[in-house]
A and B are shown apart, each in its own frame.
Chain A
Amino acid sequence: MGPRLLSGNEACALGAIRAGVRFFAGYPITPSTEIAEYLARELPKLGGTFIQMEDEIASICCMNGATAAGVKAMTATSGPGFSLMQEGIGYSVMAELPCIIVDVMRGGPATGTPTRTAQADVMQARHGTHGDPPAVALCPWSVRECFDLTVEAVNTSERLRIPVIVLMDEIVGHMRERVELPDEVKLWEPANPKKPREEYCHYEDAVNYDSQIASFGEGYRVHLTGLVHRKDGFPTDTPEIIKWNLDRLKRKVEDNRSWLWDVTYEDLGAETVIVTYGTAARSAIAAKREFERKVGRRLGLVRLRMVWPFPQQRLQSLLKSARRVIVPEMNQGQLCRSIERTVSRDVPVVSVLRYDGEMLSPEEIIEAL
């Protein structure tokens, strides 16, 4: 397939289709709506299902239902809708339903700035739902990456039996770029086929991740609940099993951190290193080029393609020789605290923030240098 002019939202929808997503339940919300519109047109062609629900709560629950019935499913939304979905995301975590939630971020709180940009939901993606949920959130910075990371989100969610969040924002969602997409994408295949019904246990330790699970309609008579449950899926109040259940959820991410962490970097030998993600990284790379051309000194750059789980140990080693760290973000400083905890106390961490609905500019980053 030749080069195409696509928006990030379209690339995301295309990535989902290539990754095998055949079910979408959602509710219109700016600036994510183009994802729904694209899938409303394309999914029925593939025998898939698109449904516009009555709100975002219904959307995420409907998606969970389709997932439980064995279809790769997704939803897409923005800040206010993402807030409404939080309980449902908790259900996906608890029942271990693989699915993806795309949040094309805008400013908040509340209705906030529907048509403007922000990276305002970084912490909501981590701690939005109650309890102690594990979280995986990917953060694309280009149209091509909207495609790639959506495919990766689907694969990761299948592999870990966990909801995965794709954190886009208004700019990356609406921006058009010339992209060449791969003809084929690599899809996760379970290494272990599921056991026959007599021996099957929906939540045994061996199937926490990397395993095929049973879905509704396959004759396994599965029981799913949002209550803390035993290995067979039925609820319990026993303290040891509550702890086992929560540890099991935590281990999905902890055991797999090394391959989950997704960080790109250049010029780490430099004294000053920029650590950033998503749209803000576009300005950061421009700032780096401009600074190096004018000042003639190298500037380090670390870009997180995955913000959760936070790659603390990876960053610790990458930032070992940094004397100063700059963190550009389009919010009031949501990820910089995690980065502060990562570097030693004598390394200053400078936040470069913008949250007026406009894109952070390279000049603002250069000023902070």
Chain B
Amino acid sequence: MDEPRFTGEQAVDEFLDRFRLDERFPHILCPGCGIGTAMATLARATAELGLEQDRLCVVSGIGCSSRVAGYLDCDTFHTLHGRAIPAATGVKLARPELEVVVFGGDGDIMAIGGNHFIHAARRNIDLTLFVLNNFTYAMTGGQASPTTPQSSHPAATAPYGNVERDFDICFMARASGAVFVARSTAYHVAHLKKMMKLALGRPGFSVLEIVSQCPTLFGRQQGMADPVKMLEWIRDRSVDVSEVKDPWQVEDRFVIGVLHDRVEVPPYSELYEGVRGLAQARGRR
């Protein structure tokens, strides 16, 4: 399934057709940012899977990553800060035939939206969640986020270094009940596309963490203002899941690949369809 369905010019057209190129571009993202890479990869992944644009709904919250919703040509829902997951839950339950994708950043999904993340995973709502982890609140200027590593490097709201411990997004997802959990990075573009396609193909609550570079803020704070340097940092810290004994016990590395996959758990919509059947049967009696 990793082979593109399209080749040559047709592939390019199909890919470009996924963006609102007319007047929404150029985008607001900084040069060297990883969000554009992730957005383009999402467009490629959906094109290669043959997902119809009219059946795709991309939901986001607030932050740099959440701006992705404004550039994609499909139904797009730019909601409140932290609230993409509950909003997407409403869309999915109201129109189960739609492919509902949530795209958000580490601050949006893991801090202000953390509780929604946990409960959507617990319910196994049929959503695909892409969390772009750039370790910082980028839109507001580089404040510490729940994934900012504990370190002596300053963040805008941790000028003496960050004393708080960071979240492992994938571990949180698994512990909360997500049925598919994977990690990739903005450096490993082919791998990222593969992971996106897998996540999109899974029923239930699927989570893909995308480790990404923010050279403008996090990078500068960590002494890696050059995007290439940041990408090399991501590359050097990444290790494939096949090369580790226990992916949950690896310190200071990004373990990439599929970390957790339980296809047998029925998604919420399927179970609620059963509730409807039961309610209707009792109503008739």
Contacts and interface: CB of A to CB of B under 8 A. Distances in A.
Contacts of A69: 57, 90-91, 94-95, 98
A75 B246 CA distance: 44
B119 interface: yes
B77 A58 contact: no
Interface in B40-97: 53-55, 57, 59, 69-70, 73-80, 83, 85-95, 97
A281 B73 CA distance: 52
A223 to B, nearest CB: 5
A217 B96 CA distance: 10
Contacts of A54: 115-116, 118-119
A221 B75 contact: yes
A51 B93 contact: yes
Interface in A200-222: 216-217, 219-222
Contacts of B87: 61-62, 64-65, 68
Contacts of B245: none
Interface stretch (B2-10, B155-163, B182-190, B273-281): B273-281
A65 B88 contact: yes
Interface string A59-100: 101111111111101000000000000011001000000000
B91 A58 contact: no
A49 interface: yes
A57 B83 contact: yes
A44 B279 contact: yes
Label chain B's interface by main secondary structure.
Answer: helix
Q: Which of A25, A57, A87, A227 has the most CB of B within 10 A?
A: A57
A44 B278 CA distance: 9
A333 interface: no
* Size bracket of the A interface: 35 or more
A224 B77 contact: yes
Nearest to B77: A224
Contact of B77 (A45, A57, A216): A216
A221 B17 CA distance: 13
B24 interface: yes
Label chain A's interface by main secondary structure.
Answer: mixed
A235 interface: yes
B233 interface: no
A47 interface: yes
A235 B76 CA distance: 13
A25 B77 contact: no
B248 interface: no
B80 A61 contact: yes
A41 B282 CA distance: 10
A221 B55 CA distance: 9
B277 to A, nearest CB: 8
Contacts of A235: 70, 78
Contacts of A225: 69-70, 78
A234 interface: yes
B93 A49 contact: yes
Contacts of A220: 75
Contacts of A42: 279
A53 interface: yes
A310 interface: no
B94 A53 contact: no
Contact of A62 (B57, B69, B89): B89
A62 B70 CA distance: 20
Contacts of B77: 65, 68, 216, 223-224
Contacts of A61: 79-80, 83, 86-87, 90
Nearest to B83: A61
A308 interface: no
Interface in B86-135: 86-95, 97-98, 115-116, 118-119
Contact of B90 (A66, A223, A234): A66
A226 B91 contact: no
B26 interface: no
A189 interface: no
B173 to A, nearest CB: 16
Given A64-B90, A68-B90, A68-B91, A47 B57 contact: no
Contacts of A55: 115
A42 B83 CA distance: 27
Contact of B86 (A41, A62, A222, A224): A62
Contacts of B79: 61, 64-65, 91, 224, 226
B57 A41 contact: no
A23 interface: yes
10 contacts: A49-B94, A53-B89, A54-B118, A57-B83, A58-B83, A91-B80, A216-B95, A217-B95, A221-B73, A227-B78
Interface of A: 23, 25, 41-42, 44-45, 47, 49, 51, 53-55, 57-59, 61-71, 73, 87-88, 91, 216-217, 219-227, 234-235
Interface of B: 24, 53-55, 57, 59, 69-70, 73-80, 83, 85-95, 97-98, 115-116, 118-119, 272, 275-276, 278-280, 282-283
